[in-house]
Chain A
Amino acid sequence: MAQQLPVAQALPDGQQRLLEGWLPLAQMANLRYGWGLSAADLEALIVVAAPRLRGAQSALEAQAILWFTYQRLKASIL
């Protein structure tokens, strides 16, 4: 029997490309740092980090921004 995972919500216009663009890097960070974030959580992380990501000059800087945003979100949740 197939097991169905939770489905991500439909996206507002404009966010599709934002997510498409950043998901590979966010997923790499998710694996590298062992965050274990779900698809929906990763998308939320990208949306929150988007304003800072726009200023990134390199993949390393973007990765650092994702890490920073994750830590901020984690701290605000705990």
Chain B
Amino acid sequence: MSNHGGGIKRSSWLTFRRRLLLVRALLRGPATSADLVGAINRELGAQGYPEAAAAALKHDFDALKGEYGCVITYNRPARQYALEDLGELALLDLPDDSLEALAFLEASFPAGSGHPEHTNLRALLERVVLLLPPTRQQQHRRRRSATRLGGGDGGGRIDLDTLTIVKYAVEERRELAFAYLSTFDADLPRHHRVAPYGITFRPEGHGYLDATVLEVTPRGGEAIHAAIDYRLDRIVAATVMVLPTVLPPIRPTPPSYVLRYTLVSQVACRRDVAVYFPNTQISYHDDGSAEVTATITNFWQARQILLRYGDACLVHAPPELVTLFQKTAAGLGRLYATE
């Protein structure tokens, strides 16, 4: 009796092991039945599948589906089996920190980015997620969307061809032309010819082309030779063109201005005022306020940055920036005016 019982136990164990090996083989990727039988037999030798393996293989697939909830599909034209879902066999779990790291990687290398070098990484991430139990997969999906929001992916998507061409122009130091829809262009984009110098990203997630304006048609308020940060997602796709003209060795220097502003005690009293501009000097006063001086070349950018302080920041110089703030304040006054 005991021998018989041991035989059953050994047989059950072998069957279980064979099914786990089958799952492991499928985790490597879709496979034909011959591939699978070969992989199992290499591991188990004489204890693997018998010569007529088709029925035993089907039996194992049925068991994996019925007993463990695995989802295995068959691609008839390719004659391949693929593991779509591990069901109860999703045995991998990860600490929350690792799930956060996984979400960060997913957000950094989004699906459908079209970059060949991202393809393998995406496949790896998808494999790892597939190994997680369903509840952890759901947590991961929620975390992933939160990470994307936190990363400021809320802006318009940058056209990848545009990004590639712009980067090429920056590296090759060649002039660039494109149609651009600025905040102040209602519907019709205008044609810009620029000297491109770099690409930057801001905390809110938008990507910008740092360029010197050479020509704008039709002309707007842009000063020729001014340094402008063009939002990459507002460059009209398929209009960007690298021109033959090589940039001069020295960048046409945009005029620089001394920026001076005061931060009220409420934001400066802890003496940890943020540095947002080159050549920043901060003087803290006894009343808790701070006076900041720095150098800027771009009024619009300076205004965007300083607006984060709301009414806790008073700009004294340069006069052009003060005028810009006055216009903004008047506009806000109109928007929020109470009857």
Q: Of all chain A residues, which has the CB nearest B150?
A: A60
Instruction: Give the residue of B251, B283, B305 whose beta carbon is less than 8 angstroms from that of A24.
Output: B305
Instruction: Give the residue of A16, A21, A58 whose beta carbon is less than 8 angstroms from that of B108.
Output: A58
Instruction: Give the residue of A23, A59, A60 whose beta carbon is less than 8 angstroms from that of B278.
Output: A23
Q: Check: A56 CB closer than 8 A to any chain B CB.
A: yes
Given the interface contacts A23-B276, A24-B305, does A56 sit within 8 Å of B199 by beta carbon?
A: yes
Contact bitstring B262-288, A, C-beta under 8 A = 1, else 0? 000000000000111111111111100
Q: Of all chain A residues, which has the CB nearest B104?
A: A60
12 pairs, A vs B, C-beta closer than 8 Å: A3-B284, A8-B278, A14-B197, A17-B254, A20-B296, A21-B200, A21-B210, A24-B305, A25-B203, A54-B167, A58-B201, A60-B107
Within A34-75, the residues touching B (CB, 8 Å) are 38-39, 42-43, 53-54, 56-64
A3 contact set on B, CB distance < 8 A? 283-284
B301 contact set on A, CB distance < 8 A? 20
Instruction: Give the residue of B163, B276, B285 whose beta carbon is less than 8 angstroms from that of A2.
Output: B285
Q: How far is the CA of A15 from the CA of B197 in the complex (A)?
A: 11
Given the interface contacts A1-B286, A2-B285, A31-B274, does A62 sit within 8 Å of B279 by beta carbon?
A: no
Given the interface contacts A62-B201, A64-B108, does A7 sit within 8 Å of B286 by beta carbon?
A: no
Q: Of all chain B residues, which has the CB nearest A2?
A: B283
Q: Check: B170 CB closer than 8 A to any chain A CB.
A: yes
Q: Check: A11 CB closer than 8 A to any chain B CB.
A: yes
Find the residue from B170, B283, B296 having the highest chain A CB count within 10 A: B283
Query: Using a CB–CB distance below 8 Å, which chain A residues touch chain B?
Result: 1-5, 7-8, 10-11, 13-25, 27-28, 31, 38-39, 42-43, 53-54, 56-64
Judge whether A17 and B280 touch: CB under 8 Å: no
Q: How far is the CA of A38 from the CA of B273 in the complex (A)?
A: 10
Q: Which 8 A-B pairs have the closest CB atoms?
A: A21-B200, A59-B201, A39-B275, A28-B203, A2-B283, A60-B151, A19-B278, A59-B205
Q: Check: B202 CB closer than 8 A to any chain A CB.
A: yes
Q: Of all chain A residues, which has the CB nearest B274?
A: A27
Instruction: Give the residue of A17, A23, A56 whose beta carbon is less than 8 angstroms from that of B297.
Output: A17
Judge whether A16 and B256 touch: CB under 8 Å: yes
Q: How far is the CA of A27 from the CA of B208 in the complex (A)?
A: 17
Q: Check: B198 CB closer than 8 A to any chain A CB.
A: yes
Judge whether B250 and A13 touch: CB under 8 Å: yes
Q: Check: B215 CB closer than 8 A to any chain A CB.
A: no
B205 contact set on A, CB distance < 8 A? 58-60
CB distance from A39 to the nearest CB of B (A): 4
Instruction: Give the residue of B104, B200, B250 whose beta carbon is less than 8 angstroms from that of A22.
Output: B200
Q: Check: B70 CB closer than 8 A to any chain A CB.
A: no
Judge whether B276 and A7 touch: CB under 8 Å: no
Contact bitstring B53-80, A, C-beta under 8 A = 1, else 0? 0000000000000000000000000000
Q: How far is the CA of A7 from the CA of B294 in the complex (A)?
A: 10
Q: Check: B32 CB closer than 8 A to any chain A CB.
A: no
Q: How far is the CA of A21 from the CA of B284 in the complex (A)?
A: 26
CB distance from B145 to the nearest CB of A (A): 14
Judge whether A58 and B279 touch: CB under 8 Å: no
Q: Of all chain A residues, which has the CB nearest B275?
A: A39
A18 contact set on B, CB distance < 8 A? 198, 210
A17 contact set on B, CB distance < 8 A? 197-198, 210, 227, 251, 254, 297
B120 contact set on A, CB distance < 8 A? none
Q: Of all chain B residues, which has the CB nearest A32?
A: B203
Judge whether B275 and A42 touch: CB under 8 Å: yes
Instruction: Give the residue of B197, B199, B200, B279 whose beta carbon is less than 8 angstroms from that of A25.
Output: B200
Judge whether B275 and A59 touch: CB under 8 Å: no
Q: Of all chain A residues, which has the CB nearest B160?
A: A57
